[in-house]
């Protein structure tokens, strides 16, 4: 057996009350492996395969609490009532059975500037949604479309109707929704919850001075723009108690003129830290700057991570570092506490195990073609251009190891 070259990434780390066996996380990925609001076996087996591959933490795809009146999307896995608990419990138990911890991403969905064509969405302010600038579209994604003869995905976001401004009552409903779903996550057995405040979704729309032009208590100064985040955090804590891990997915740099800067993002994270936040999971960009959100090279978010590390006491997780040597270096140099892998684990769930065994040459590399995102954004199930097993994991009995000790508790009549 080859000798492992990298050791830093395999050192354990504590986030809040939870001990992780290593510093590698799976970053959340929307898979569309859900039916009628419930995670499917496809969903569970996909995640089990990644847990089996040796990652210490999985941040699961977003569990959605749907804004009232928004068009229900059958592909959203919901978590907003007790009926949703058994399958989420099975998700968690399957991840645990392979020795990884599970944090669930919480998304208040069906609201915010990322809306489907033909629907009018609600957002912090009625700021027009403009066409994604061609220079912001990742080159390899354009090449994918040409290769497949597909119409441009990115043009679908042109000329969407202007969003309608949310009322204060609606904002308070959203804060409560974060808390309700986080509480259900705790009940389902998750080790933590990650509040989604990134990627041009609703939470991010509030934090950004570009998309939040409100003149009430939820807009204006940075403290006001962060109010929904702070209030949600307080409400989440009241529901889950002090020991349950609560983190945030946060845009380190929006990379759009007038958008969230790294300095803003640090201040927002500090507000979170003051209100009991346990970790920050960084990201960057937004739809209008999509090439920063799914970068074409390693380490593009490390400058923001470094700034956060200088400011915060809580751990920072940074994505988009695909090469083992770069992940090791970033952790060793103290630029980030953990590295999260999204596309590398879609392409090869065994990435961590192979690196731990000194067999990094055997890793099936992600080619950053964005076929995965192209499919899910078009309403199709996740697939990968270099890994034919993606979406078929449920046919491999190796990935089924549910122990689900709590399921009876949820299924028996009360
Ligand atoms: C197909 C796809 C779906 C994604 N879905 C989510 C999501 O639901 N929530 C989220 O926070 N990030 C999502 N991301 C972003 C990833 O978590 C990650 O930040 C990004 O892919 C960059 O990391 P990577 O280079 O390791 O893939 C998604 C990315 C891809 C490619
Ligand atoms: S190789 Fe797979 S994981 Fe990587 S970008 Fe292409 S489809 Fe996505």
Average pLDDT over the chain reads: 93
Give ligand 1 pocket residues (Cβ under 6 A).
27-30, 61-62, 105, 196, 198-199, 249, 283, 294, 319-320, 341-344, 372-373, 376
The predicted pLDDT at position 158 comes to 75
Percent of the chain whose predicted confidence (pLDDT) is above 70: 95
Tens digit of each residue's pLDDT (9 = 90 or more) over 373-399: 999 999 999 999 999 999 999 999 888
Tens digit of each residue's pLDDT (9 = 90 or more) over 57-87: 999 999 999 999 887 677 889 999 999 999 9
Atom 10 of ligand 1, nearest CA residue:
28
Taking the CA of residue 283 as reference, the ligand 1 atom at the shortest distance is: 19
Q: Please give the average per-residue pLDDT across 288-313, as a whole number.
A: 96
How many Å apart are CA 412 and CA 414, to the nearest integer? 6
Taking the CA of residue 196 as reference, the ligand 1 atom at the shortest distance is: 11
Residue 411 predicted with pLDDT over 70: no
Q: Which of 144, 157, 178, 201 is catalytic?
A: 201
- How close is the Cα of 28 to the center of ligand 1, in Å? 6
Tens digit of each residue's pLDDT (9 = 90 or more) over 84-98: 999 999 999 999 999
- How close is the Cα of 178 to the center of ligand 2, in Å? 31
Q: Which of 53, 140, 148, 370 to mutate to test the pocket of ligand 2 (most atoms within 8 A of CB)?
A: 370
Taking the CA of residue 368 as reference, the ligand 2 atom at the shortest distance is: 5
What DSSP string describes 307-328? HHHHH-SS-EEEE---SHHHHH
Long-range contacts, 168-175 (Cβ 8 Å, 24+): 168/216, 168/217, 168/218, 170/67, 170/122, 171/218, 171/228, 172/231, 173/67, 173/68, 174/67, 174/108, 174/111, 174/202, 174/228, 174/232, 175/228, 175/231, 175/232, 175/235
Tens digit of each residue's pLDDT (9 = 90 or more) over 117-174: 777 889 999 998 888 888 999 999 999 999 999 999 888 777 788 899 999 999 999 9
With H, G, I as helix, E, B as strand and everything else as coil, classify residue 412: coil
The predicted pLDDT at position 413 comes to 47
How many Å apart are CA 127 and CA 148, to the nearest integer? 34
Q: Which fold has domain 8-411?
A: TIM Barrel (3.20.20)
CA-to-CA separations, 360 to 218, 231, 331, in angstroms, rounded: 48, 44, 18
The predicted pLDDT at position 1 comes to 64
The reply to whether 201 belongs to the active site is: yes
Tens digit of each residue's pLDDT (9 = 90 or more) over 345-383: 999 999 999 999 999 999 999 999 999 999 999 999 999
The predicted pLDDT at position 166 comes to 97
Q: Which of 250, 295, 301, 368 is nearest to 136 (CA)?
A: 295
Residue ranges of the domains in the chain? 8-411
């Amino acid at each position: 057996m080859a000798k492992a070259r990298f050791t830093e990434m395999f050192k354990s780390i504590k986030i809040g009350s939870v001990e992780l066996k290593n510093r590698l996380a799976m970053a959340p990925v929307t898979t569309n492996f859900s039916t009628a609001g419930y995670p499917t076996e496809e969903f569970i087996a996909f995640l089990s395969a990644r847990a089996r591959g040796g990652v210490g933490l999985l941040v699961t795809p977003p569990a959605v609490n749907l804004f009232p009146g928004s068009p229900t999307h059958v592909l959203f896995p919901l978590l907003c009532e007790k009926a949703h608990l058994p399958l989420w419990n099975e998700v968690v138990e399957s991840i645990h059975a392979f020795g990884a911890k599970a944090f669930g991403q919480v998304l208040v969905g069906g609201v915010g500037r990322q809306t489907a064509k033909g629907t009018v969405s609600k957002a912090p302010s009625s700021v027009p949604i403009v066409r994604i600038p061609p220079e912001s579209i990742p080159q390899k994604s354009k090449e994918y479309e040409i290769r497949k003869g597909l119409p441009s995905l990115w043009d679908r976001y042109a000329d969407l109707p202007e969003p309608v401004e949310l009322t204060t009552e609606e904002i308070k409903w959203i804060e409560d929704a974060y808390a309700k779903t986080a509480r259900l996550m705790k009940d389902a057995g998750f080790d933590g919850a990650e509040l989604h405040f990134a990627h041009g979704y609703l939470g991010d729309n509030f934090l950004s001075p570009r998309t939040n032009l409100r003149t009430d208590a939820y807009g204006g100064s940075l403290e006001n723009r962060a109010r929904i985040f702070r209030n949600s955090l307080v409400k989440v804590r009241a529901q889950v108690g002090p020991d349950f891990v609560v983190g945030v997915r946060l845009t380190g740099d929006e990379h759009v003129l007038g958008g969230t800067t790294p300095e803003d993002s640090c201040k927002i994270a500090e507000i979170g830290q003051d209100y009991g936040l346990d970790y920050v999971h960084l990201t960057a960009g937004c739809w209008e700057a999509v090439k920063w959100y799914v970068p074409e090279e390693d380490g593009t978010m490390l400058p923001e991570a470094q700034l956060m590390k200088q400011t915060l006491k809580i751990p920072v997780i940074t994505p988009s570092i695909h090469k083992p040597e770069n992940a090791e270096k970033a952790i060793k140099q103290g630029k980030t506490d953990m590295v999260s892998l999204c596309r590398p684990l879609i392409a090869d769930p065994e990435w961590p195990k192979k690196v731990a065994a000194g067999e990094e040459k055997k890793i099936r590399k992600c080619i950053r073609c964005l076929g995965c995102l192209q499919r899910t954004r078009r309403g199709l199930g996740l697939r990968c251009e270099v890994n034919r097993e993606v979406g078929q994991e449920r046919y491999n009995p190796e990935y089924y190891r549910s122990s689900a000790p709590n399921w009876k508790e949820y299924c028996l009549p009360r």
